[in-house]
Chains A and B, each alone.
Chain A
Amino acid sequence: MKILVPVKRVADPDNANKVKVSADGARVTSEGLEWKLNPFDEYAVEAALRLNENGASGEKLGEVIIVSLGPDEVQTTIRQPLAMGADRGIHVKADDAELDSTVVAKVLAALVAQEKPDLVLMGKQAVDGDSNTAGQVLAELLGWPMATFAMAIETADGGKTLTIGREVDTGVLTLKVTPPAVVTVDLRIVAPGSVRNGVTPDAHKYGEGARYASLKGIMAAKKKAIDVRTLADLGVTDGAVVTYTKFERPPARTGSVRFVESAQELVQRLKTEAKVL
């Protein structure tokens, strides 16, 4: 299969205290931030690699192309999936401020027209804005079937049909989609047995989580191509439809942790003091 995986860099969630709001509240400042691959995108990369390989022998079964939008520094973001084993990258130059889910989806739609992948596999959302819309807008623009929040992907016939498991409140909902399709993934997609491609033997055990970029992978990534495009190259000239009017930090926490002696006392206090029962 040919799989396109869009990835986004996000402020390192482990250093979230470095995220600052500008004095006028108009934007989140990015100075001095450490960037990381959005975790859900990393899971999408892992799922794409598992779909496109014989996990036991390492043989490749298809191509995985990584796309990212942003300033020149996002090439760094693209290198990591390349070091994990993806084949090549596309960097679409843009200012972070020009982008929203719709612009991103339009860019991806234009790239799909050029690259003709069988599958666009992406994270369900980026952990910065938590919008959870780019995949859905893209499927709509392409008129393709869509499966969101995938926690399992199975294919047995080289990708002619995909069986997708989605976790819902009451259990697992199973969908069949016929590629080309858009699939967005959830955390569980990187559990050891979540991706089955009919080639990797069932006995093969993947580790828990996305694979590390090995040193060999890192050295190989240096030689992999990253094509650079602009929004204009791809005919995306309309601006963002979402405008952000104001950012503010969550209010400082008030109150304090209190310990109670018994469950009875807790219920009593929730009734009389907190008045939530």
Chain B
Amino acid sequence: MTAPRSSHLFNPTEEHRMLRQTVAEFTRREVEPQAAESDRLGVLNTALFRKLGELGVLGITIPEADGGAGMDTVAAVIVHHELSKSDPGFCLAYLAHSMLFVNNFYHCANEEQRARVLPRTLTGEWVGGMGMTEPGAGTDVLAMSTTARRETGPGGDHWVLDGTKTYITNGCEGHCFLVYAKVDGRITAFLVDRDCPGFSTSNHIDKLGMRGSTMAELIFEGCRVPAANLLGEVGGGLVHMMHNLEIERLTLAAMSVGIAERCVELMVDYAQQRQTFGKPIAEYGQIQRYIADGYAAMEAAKALTYNVALDITPDSRNRVGSDAAKLFAAPVGKQCADYAMQVMGGAGYCREYPVERLWRDAKLLEIGGGTIEAHQKNLTKDLCRAAKRA
């Protein structure tokens, strides 16, 4: 009567189990009912977002002493997994805020900066985001051209930023952003907010899926950022960026797992109810293949993602693992959504069911946070390097 052993991988402690239950319940009661409408409008539901603040999940990885929940990467994976069963778009806004901004910021900020920014970002009063990608630098992110130079004088002590970031999630609603720019060619992290003169954002960039979150360009035109907003050391940005990418990729993988799991559920239900030629379509071998293959792939992606999550902490890393998890899981979400749509036929293609939305959402996971080609490239490089060392 005790839980199956495998559930220890997914819920290593009692707290993880309760967290999953809370987020699943919240998702069922509040996220699911608004998902189709947010998708149609292409907006972030900010009122719902603030409720994530009340639940306490916006600072999930931040120590309790600093106002967070003090939980680990597995906990972050749980939240993304559960939210994405209903609204991956909304979950992407959560990811951009909690992983790309809050978690990242926490690890490179000093005490004063934390005290200034965390309270209002942990409640969701301020929405945050992260700006790395540029029109001319995506996969080759090190080629970024946004610059920062220091200016001291009678006007005060400032950094002056010039450049443009693009595809930035939460760009429309965001108040504060963690922005990477080059100081004399060295990647450095800055905190930029709406109060910085010379900072603006573009119009909403419309997109195929993930429409429960928005994206925009961040534009820096001689943007004056107070000296106190330098995060970490000049030139220290690269290490933070690379480290934070691991939890980002893993939570993106978890989103794909959530999409896959929901789609398997939907197709299992539908295949039992829908009858053709006098019997449920679940009795046809071709349909069974979609259901069984989808389920097996989803379980594999889930096990890999949770397994890697155990290894990623502020002090321990698993870059190969996070690349592998996202590389494997991203196509699984897309595949399961596609299978579910096929099993559901015309119904799957129509807006009445969530499958077509999940299908559109799922594709992003093969692009955002690193394309699958980028993961293939990085993994191979890391594996070859490790083999040489051995």
Contacts and interface: CB of A to CB of B under 8 A. Distances in A.
B18, B21, B29, B60 — most chain A CB neighbours (10 Å): B18
A213 interface: yes
B1 A218 contact: no
A216 B14 contact: no
B19, B22, B26, B57 — most chain A CB neighbours (10 Å): B22
Contacts of B21: 80, 213
A263 interface: no
Contacts of B2: 73
A224 interface: no
Instruction: Pick the 8 closest A-B CB pairs, nearest first.
Output: A215-B56, A215-B69, A214-B56, A218-B18, A216-B56, A213-B22, A212-B22, A30-B1
A33 B3 CA distance: 8
Interface string A179-223: 000000000000000000000000000000100111111110110
B134 to A, nearest CB: 35
Given A73-B1, A73-B2, A212 B14 contact: no
A129 interface: no
A31 B1 contact: yes
Q: Which range contains the number of A residues in contact with the other chain?
A: 20 to 34
Interface of A: 30-33, 71, 73, 76, 79-80, 83, 209, 212-219, 221-222
Contacts of B60: 215
Nearest to A34: B3
Contacts of A80: 18, 21
B271 to A, nearest CB: 15
A224 to B, nearest CB: 12
B17 A215 contact: no
A219 B69 contact: yes
Contacts of A83: 18, 22
B64 interface: yes
Contacts of B70: 219
B2, B55, B71 — most chain A CB neighbours (10 Å): B55
12 contacts: A30-B1, A76-B17, A209-B29, A212-B22, A212-B55, A214-B22, A214-B54, A214-B56, A216-B69, A218-B18, A218-B19, A219-B69
B14 A215 contact: no
Decide if the interface of chain B is mainly helix, strand, loop or mixed: helix
A13 to B, nearest CB: 13
Contacts of B1: 30-31, 33, 71, 73
Interface in B1-42: 1-2, 4, 14-15, 17-19, 21-22, 25-26, 29
Given A216-B69, A218-B22, 6 more contacts: A71-B1, A79-B18, A215-B19, A215-B71, A217-B56, A219-B69
A32 B4 contact: yes
A73 B29 CA distance: 26
A141 B13 CA distance: 39
A215 B55 contact: yes
A89 to B, nearest CB: 13
Contact of B14 (A32, A33, A76, A217): A76
B197 to A, nearest CB: 37
Interface in B169-194: none
A12 to B, nearest CB: 10
A226 to B, nearest CB: 12
A212 B57 contact: no
Contacts of A217: 56
A212 B25 contact: yes
B102 to A, nearest CB: 14
Contacts of B64: 219
Contacts of B55: 212, 214-215
Given A32-B4, A71-B1, A215-B69, A222 B56 contact: no
A35 B41 CA distance: 38
A71 B71 CA distance: 29
B121 to A, nearest CB: 15
A189 B295 CA distance: 40
Contact of A79 (B4, B14, B54): B14
Contacts of A71: 1
Contacts of A31: 1
A215 B123 CA distance: 13
Contacts of A218: 15, 18-19, 22
A14 B296 CA distance: 23
A221 B21 CA distance: 15
